[in-house]
Structure 1
């Protein structure tokens, strides 16, 4: 189980992201600390999950969705990205292997899912 899950969506309005989360989980709290940042608290299997949605997180067109919990229903970032792509129908990117403190992975190695398919690629 991963400590947290983070995905990046391309050109996807925050309202669509919030609607996906509300359809997938029970939404208990929602706030907007800034113009580009929204925070929501979800409940999944009796666990509260804090989620931060940050627009323009990677360049102007990518929004980060960060699930700050090891209690999400997904095994890894890629599983989350697949569900997000199916629901949001916009390109989704995530770390290829999940983040590890002492991993030997290439930090530019990512997983991309879009209308052309999915697979690893270098994002730099």
Structure 2
């Protein structure tokens, strides 16, 4: 099972559904309210189920954490997924460059940030 995790700044209701419907064969996800509690849905890619979990107000309340889990996903890694989200949503998107493990220092933790300035590794804060 593969999982992808991205963070979308200022996610508006309906945006996530429109983006994911472009890449999944089917999707059941109600994202009409993006500022409340976590919500979940599911879709399919090549007859393989994809679980979608969304955690609004993650990391400073302006970001929604989007997690996709499945044996088959439309993207190879978090950065590919983040690039796709940026192109479709036109909102800042962040993701981990990979390799983080529980217990690693967060002081030098770098994240990919994709926004109108381009792609760059940044410290989250």
User: TM-score, structure 1 length as denominator?
Assistant: 0.83
Alignment of 1:42-81 (within 5 A): 42-81=43-82
Instruction: Tell me the secondary structure at the aligned position of residue 81 of structure 1.
Output: helix
1:10–1:63 Cα contact (<8 Å) kept = yes
Q: Deviations over 1:33-69 (max 9, x none)?
A: x933221211112211001111101111000110022
1:77–1:98 Cα contact (<8 Å) kept = no
Instruction: Tell me the secondary structure at the aligned position of residue 24 of structure 1.
Output: coil
Give RMSD over aligned pairs: 2.6
Residue of structure 2 in register with 1:86 after alignment: 87
Residue of structure 2 in register with 1:123 after alignment: 124
CA 1:79–1:38: 2 relative to 1, 3 Å: same
Residue of structure 2 in register with 1:26 after alignment: 25
Alignment of 1:3-14 (within 5 A): 3-14=2-13
1:27–1:40 Cα contact (<8 Å) kept = no
CA 1:100–1:45: 2 relative to 1, 3 Å: farther
| Distance apart, 1:99 and its partner CA | 4.5
| Distance apart, 1:31 and its partner CA | 5.3
User: TM-score, structure 2 length as denominator?
Assistant: 0.82
2:86–2:114 Cα contact (<8 Å) kept = yes
Unaligned runs of 5+ in 1: none
Q: Deviations over 1:90-118 (max 9, x none)?
A: 00000012555798997721101000110
Number of residue pairs matched? 122
Answer with 112-121 or 14-23: which moved more. 14-23
